[in-house]
A and B are shown apart, each in its own frame.
Chain A
Amino acid sequence: MMRPNLILHVVAKFIIPLIILFALYVQFHGDFGPGGGFQAGVIFSAAFILYALVFGLDTAEKIIPPHWLRILAALGVVIYAGVGMESLLLGGNYLDYTLLGSNQIAGQHLGILLVELGVGITVAAAMLILFFAFAGRGRD
């Protein structure tokens, strides 16, 4: 489909792991620095979009099959809502993380981490779904 371009391939292969690493940093360091699940999800999806742009849509869809993306997009929301349900079951209010840990700080930390993880998963999957839907449109 696409004419192989050596420079693009080499640079992309070098840069994509760094983008994913940065996304993970933004995801899990969001409590302490700028960032969080939303930004991390977008950066994470940007790595795969770069891969799809350089190596072609079909190769990218082999790495992340579209039906996985649909499951992941739903999974993020389920994680978020599940944290809320868990705090309900533990006897607190919905999305009150205090009871998740041994003390308030630990509970809040765990709750925020899980919730941000849910946000990140859903955003990354949703962005990739959007990209594949738009980019795959011209193929047939």
Chain B
Amino acid sequence: CDDGFEEENTNPDASNQVDPEYMFTKAIYDALNNSTGTVYEFGAGGFVQHFATYLEVPGLGDKYLYISGSYPYAFFNGAYLDAINEIDKIIYATEGVEGLSNQNAIAQIWKVYTYHRLTDLYGMVPYTEATTAFSEANYSPVYDTQEAIYMDMLNTLQSASGSLDANQPSFGNGDLIYNGNVDQWSRFANSLMLRLAMRLTKVNPTLAEEWAQKAISAGIIAEPSNNAIIDYPGGQVINSNPIAFQLRNNNYSESNQGSSNTEGGKFADTFISYLKENNDPRLSSFAAVWVNGSQKTDPELQQGMPNGLVNRPENFPGLSEPNLNTLLSLNSSLMVLGSAEMNLLLAEASARGWTSGDAQSYYLEGIRDAMNSLEGLYGNEAAVSEEEVNTYIASQSLTGSLEEQMETIHTQFWVSVFPDEIEVYSNWRRTGYPELTPVNVTGNLTGGTIPRRLTYPPSEISVNTENYEAAVSQQGLDLFTTRVWWDVEQ
């Protein structure tokens, strides 16, 4: 009585096999399109005062208020449900399969990239037991300490990078970053290793130095030609630059003309003022104001919105927004990891005496690479001319004590790595630069200090209760003020 039932119960619109390449493309997209609105504009981007919003509902980043919505935890949910689950499927499908070792190694590197952003935002997260429900029927993954996760990520980068073999097949076009080029992936792994190593300067400088040196000697992304960049063709939402898409969706569009604004967002005054005061040519690459129905990029017109407002300011329509033709172009490109950041980290490593080379040279090279990358990422309108680059660089120097140099490097990092807000926020927590003045509105959840992490989703509290509670008892209360492992208070 059940003849033909197997076929009847097979989805005609799905296949029963993972295609590692097609799923890898999805995993790349998903790692980067995760919660770009909630984290970038209304979370981390507000904490570091790149963005401001006068409304209260999206006011987590701006005012450290939490009214409703998924602002604190959307990233957590999105990471596991999409990118991490997908990358684990690829690793599972390619593990030990002849001819797929490079795919497996690249997937492992991408997994580290995906996880480090997650743990940097939340601290302890499920890692070793995450996404094992399918293979091992584990429905309640334990939380690993951030220390353990960092150690494993560093080791994974080292081993995966070491196992790449140019003579073996690799991903093809499905690898949106390097087209399967294993040498480039090796540099990417080492660069990520440097990023992670430098993150440990507060909590364990020795370890930081050890891994930074490992990374540098193995070869990092030092030239713009090595940059990890994803081009977005536009079209479907998933094929569009996710930051541009979400910011347009939330606030900025031709029709709104700067005035009617869904979530009440603008560039923050802190960010715009800094760029103006330093005659930074990138101001006109990023920012624009609406004048008579079109966006004007003239630096003197630019003005940001103060953080911490609870009412719409009178001059709201005339405040600076992201430029629709550059930063918010749906087919603009996205910098995943680039030489500008690496050079700035090398400048710090050099200033600490962890590597050879001149700290100031690295610093200036970082700025140059950052400015030169804009045209490639955002098109002609974002281009910074050679003359402007040189003028700006001529005004810069890296001198003074280590602390003074740190301030110079990481204030520059705050501009140069924009709009990778998760990385900028992590770097700010580690270094404390640039010095930002927190706001203190009634009812804020941090007592008027900038949050040190995001909070876990309510679903973990209700359906992964024991592990959640164990994590909270180990890490500290699930609050915005609790610090993650590497963010030692100094």
- Tell me whether A and B are bound partners: no
